[in-house]
Amino acid sequence: MSGRIPDPLRAGLASGWKVFDGSRQVQDLDWKADVVIVGSGAGGGIAAEVLSGAGLDVLIVEEGGLYSSADFRLNEAKAYSELYQESASRQTADKGVSILQGRTVGGGTTVNWTSAFRTPPDTLRWWQESYGLATLTPEAMRPWFEKAEQRLGIAPWQGMPNPNNLVLERGCQALGLRHARISRNVRGCWNLGYCGMGCPTNAKQSMLVTSIPAALERGARLLTRVRVERLQGDQAGKRIISLRGSLLAADGLTPSGRKLTVRAGHVVLAAGAIGSPAVMLRSDLPDSADLTGKRTFLHPVAMSAALMPERIEPYNGAPQTVYSDHFMHTQSLDGPLGFKLEVPPIHPLLAGVTFPGFGSAQAELLGRLPHLHASLALLRDGFHPDSQGGEVGLRGDGSPLLDYPLNDVVWDGVRRGWLAMAELQFAAGAERVLPLHTSAEPASSWRQARAMIESLPLQPLMAKLVSAHVMGGMAMGDDPTRGVVDEWGRHWMWRNLTVVDGSVFPTSVGANPQLSIYAFAWRAATALRIRLAAG
């Protein structure tokens, strides 16, 4: 079939990679490994590559299925149900924030939008000062960012931003706000705009096409469609002795009745910042600071839509290529929440569930999809004294639920975000601007928008808030009274347990987190490799 896009995962499977589909197992599995890695996303993928590279016997266990470019059809309905946590409809406990997370081999990296930022220096300094993480200087972290950037092709985007991103750029130029282009983890990108449905051309350098294949090539095993339920600790309260999971049926949701048991010398937890704390909570494995699942951050995102005179086609072209950090620096780090401005891609399904209004109001707005632009303001949570984030708990059936109360500091940030976005959108030539809130009406001038935004009731399920960045919940700290893990991700209590995903951050990152997770995971996995080699 010449001219067709090749699928490196299918080729690898044909070459004999040790990949097992949990839903096809006809008996319980009882396995051993040097290291078992829970989750195959940003943190798990990097850890798998680093540890398998040291000749260790690595087993990766992943709740989602193995889907690769041959399965990616640029189709939202298919992608959300196959590749996302809770079919992309995960929500916080009061349903005030919708959460996008990946649930497939490659985790969030398989579906993310490829924006890559190093951890901002002021965030690192805050962690040094407030959490005793003295060695995490920007200089000390630089080599880890560089390694990840080289490995994943992270570089400034050379292409022309799509019209959706150009609206933000023009607005910033008109108002004199600092802005820049975004670096992306792509190689040979076709500039399609369908990153969120899985990259059909393998240009996105996700874990799915980089670290996971590298680990499999070195003999690592991957078991998909298995939900890790619990870890079993020893009597002394020091070591994890086994891991238990439920194999899932072909629907990827219901347990098939088959069980997995793994005995491994070391456990690496990388199930994401909701999944990892949930494993610990289900296992009743404490930490001495009683912080597991607490201080979970989201970068809550407020959005503003605009109808533009020109064609935008917000579904076409690299999704995020322009950003502004102007409002990150208009107040102190721990003052009113700073926010980062970016734009989201807009595809029909997600627009249909996200854009407010029903009946003719919504139909008319979506009817002009080719002229729609949207901006987003991503709030930096976790620094202000009243910004303590949320808490992961368990439902009766053991599934995780994040309670993230929306308090005044968050709402204040949301309102400032809407104001900033509306002003920028009008400055860029918008005809109408609509903050995503059920009581908002499209405004035709900045004055009108400002008056409306100032009067919008700030209530959950009126303001539409979303998040694709879950962080914290098993944070690093310099001693067991103020952190769950140390700066190397090693659990302060369970010494053969290392956490390498987004849950190790003591606050939100203050920038799209993937590169931070890659760098910290690389650093943690390298330290672990050295410890394991030393015996």
Partner 1 sequence: MPSRRRFLQAGALGGAALLLAGYAAVPSADPAPADGQRRWLQPRDAEIVAALAPTMLGRADLPLAQVIDGVDLAVAGLPPATRQEVRQLFDLLGNRWARRWLAGVRSPWRQAGQAELADFLQRWRDSHFLLQRSAYQALHQLIGAAWYGNPASWAAIGYRLPAGVMEMLP
* Footprint on this chain of partner 1 (rule: CB under 8 A): 1, 3-7, 69-70, 72-74, 76-77, 80-81, 86-87, 89, 93-95, 190, 192, 200-201, 251, 253-254, 315-316, 347-349, 351-353, 358-364, 366-370, 395-397, 399, 401, 403, 438-439, 459-462
Measured between alpha carbons, how far apart are the two ends of the chain, in Å?
50
Q: Which does 366 bind (CB under 5 to 8 A by kind): partner 1, ligand FAD, none?
A: partner 1
Query: Cβ of residue 128: shortest distance to ligand FAD, in angstroms?
Result: 22
Nearest-CA neighbor of 48 among 268, 195, 263?
268
Query: Cβ of residue 185: shortest distance to ligand FAD, in angstroms?
Result: 8
In the bound state with partner 1, the residue whose beta carbon lies nearer, of 173 and 191, is 191
Fill in the amino acid letter for 256: S
Query: Cβ of residue 56: shortest distance to ligand FAD, in angstroms?
Result: 19
- Name residue, tokens 């150009």: 166
In the bound state with ligand FAD, the residue whose beta carbon lies nearer, of 62 and 391, is 62
In the bound state with partner 1, the residue whose beta carbon lies nearer, of 337 and 365, is 365
3-state secondary structure of 124: helix
Q: Which does 39 bind (CB under 5 to 8 A by kind): ligand FAD, partner 1, none?
A: ligand FAD
CA neighbours within 13 Å on the CB side: how many for 62?
A: 33
Query: Cβ of residue 55: shortest distance to ligand FAD, in angstroms?
Result: 24
In the bound state with ligand FAD, the residue whose beta carbon lies nearer, of 308 and 343, is 343
In the bound state with partner 1, the residue whose beta carbon lies nearer, of 175 and 366, is 366
Binding footprint of ligand FAD on the chain (CB under 6 A): 38-44, 61-64, 100-104, 107-109, 111-115, 196, 227-228, 270-273, 275, 279, 320, 468-469, 501-502, 512-514, 517
The rounded distance, in Å, linking the Cα atoms of 374 and 65 is 32
Q: Which does 363 bind (CB under 5 to 8 A by kind): ligand FAD, partner 1, none?
A: partner 1
In the bound state with ligand FAD, the residue whose beta carbon lies nearer, of 228 and 525, is 228
Q: Dump the DSSP string for 321-343.
A: -EEB-GGGSSS-TTSSPPEEEE-
The rounded distance, in Å, linking the Cα atoms of 18 and 12 is 10
Is the CB of residue 456 less than 8 Å from the CB of residue 439?
A: yes
Query: Cβ of residue 347: shortest distance to partner 1, in angstroms?
Result: 8
- Name residue, tokens 């879950």: 470
Q: Which does 290 bind (CB under 5 to 8 A by kind): partner 1, ligand FAD, none?
A: none
Q: Which does 186 bind (CB under 5 to 8 A by kind): ligand FAD, partner 1, none?
A: none
Query: Cβ of residue 330: shortest distance to partner 1, in angstroms?
Result: 32
* Burial class of residue 440 in the structure, from the number of CB atoms within 10 Å of its CB (0-12 exposed, 13-18 middle, 19+ buried): buried
Query: Cβ of residue 41: shortest distance to ligand FAD, in angstroms?
Result: 2
In the bound state with ligand FAD, the residue whose beta carbon lies nearer, of 202 and 514, is 514
Is the CB of residue 43 less than 8 Å from the CB of residue 521?
A: yes
Q: Which does 70 bind (CB under 5 to 8 A by kind): ligand FAD, partner 1, none?
A: partner 1
Q: Which does 173 bind (CB under 5 to 8 A by kind): ligand FAD, partner 1, none?
A: none
Spatial CB neighbours of 171, under 8 Å, sequence gap ≥ 6? 177, 423, 424, 425, 427, 428
Is the CB of residue 464 less than 8 Å from the CB of residue 207?
A: no
H/E stretch holding 266 reads strand 255-269
Nearest-CA neighbor of 512 among 319, 373, 295?
319
* Burial class of residue 229 in the structure, from the number of CB atoms within 10 Å of its CB (0-12 exposed, 13-18 middle, 19+ buried): middle
Nearest-CA neighbor of 40 among 253, 225, 304, 256?
225
Q: Which does 192 bind (CB under 5 to 8 A by kind): ligand FAD, partner 1, none?
A: partner 1
Query: Cβ of residue 225: shortest distance to ligand FAD, in angstroms?
Result: 9
Copy the structure tokens of residue 233. 């600790």
Q: Which does 532 bind (CB under 5 to 8 A by kind): ligand FAD, partner 1, none?
A: none
- Name residue, tokens 């985007």: 157
In the bound state with ligand FAD, the residue whose beta carbon lies nearer, of 510 and 513, is 513
3-state secondary structure of 231: strand
Q: Which does 175 bind (CB under 5 to 8 A by kind): partner 1, ligand FAD, none?
A: none
Q: Which does 359 bind (CB under 5 to 8 A by kind): ligand FAD, partner 1, none?
A: partner 1
**Cβ-closest residue to ligand FAD?**
41
In the bound state with partner 1, the residue whose beta carbon lies nearer, of 77 and 530, is 77
Angle at 86 (CA atoms; ends 98, 409), nearest 5 degrees:
20
Spatial CB neighbours of 430, under 8 Å, sequence gap ≥ 6? 167, 306, 307, 308, 373
3-state secondary structure of 248: strand
Query: Cβ of residue 356: shortest distance to partner 1, in angstroms?
Result: 9
